[in-house]
Structure 1
């Protein structure tokens, strides 16, 4: 009897996992987009403040301000440039 209950519980958990998986994926994708958008906004804000203060914004300064790698900052700068901002 205990093995039957264990099997039933495992099957129920598996079914719940399969039903909830698409929701979790959508939530993660949405969160990733929000984080990406926030980073772009922060990069633009940093560049704006640098220009306003009479400084030149660079990939290194963006990386430092956002706490990301130089490569990631370069990707963000590419997106900013491609958008004409």
Structure 2
């Protein structure tokens, strides 16, 4: 597996924002930011042998920091609470 660490030049709350790119030997590729565990790209090979991005992400990191988007990050201060509240609404059937 090939890994690449990219400095974005952005600092939020005193922490440097980095992008991590991972590529396996079959060409599957993922780009993850260390801010809210953002997955901005996830490229896989579909059943027709074509490369396809399966994440609806932005090209530019700055687009993730807008007010409307930052509340939708997979990890945030309130996200754990939101997930727990949604579990209370689900019914589990055996």
Higher relative contact order (CA 8 A, sep 6+): 1
Q: Which structure's residues are more often helix, by fraction?
A: 1
Larger Rg: 1
Q: Which structure's residues are more often strand, by fraction?
A: 2
The TM-score by the shorter chain falls in which range? Answer: under 0.3
